[in-house]
Chains A and B, each alone.
Chain A
Amino acid sequence: EAGVTQFPSHSVIEKGQTVTLRCDPISGHDNLYWYRRVMGKEIKFLLHFVKESKQDESGMPNNRFLAERTGGTYSTLKVQPAELEDSGVYFCASSPPGQGQYYSGANVLTFGAGSRLTVL
Chain B
Amino acid sequence: AQTVTQSQPEMSVQEAETVTLSCTYDTSESDYYLFWYKQPPSRQMILVIRQEAYKQQNATENRFSVNFQKAAKSFSLKISDSQLGDAAMYFCAYGWGTYKYIFGTGTRLKVLA
Interface residues of A (CB under 8 A from B): 3-4, 9, 31, 33, 35, 37, 40-45, 48, 56, 59, 91, 95, 99-104, 106-114
Contacts and interface: CB of A to CB of B under 8 A. Distances in A.
Given A42-B4, A111-B45, A106 B99 contact: no
B86 interface: no
Interface residues on B, range: 20 to 34
Interface of B: 4, 33, 35, 37, 39, 42-47, 50, 52, 91, 93, 95, 97-106
B30 to A, nearest CB: 13
Contacts, number: 73
20 contacts: A3-B44, A40-B105, A42-B106, A43-B103, A56-B99, A56-B100, A91-B45, A95-B99, A99-B99, A100-B98, A101-B98, A102-B97, A106-B33, A107-B33, A107-B95, A107-B99, A109-B99, A111-B37, A113-B39, A113-B43
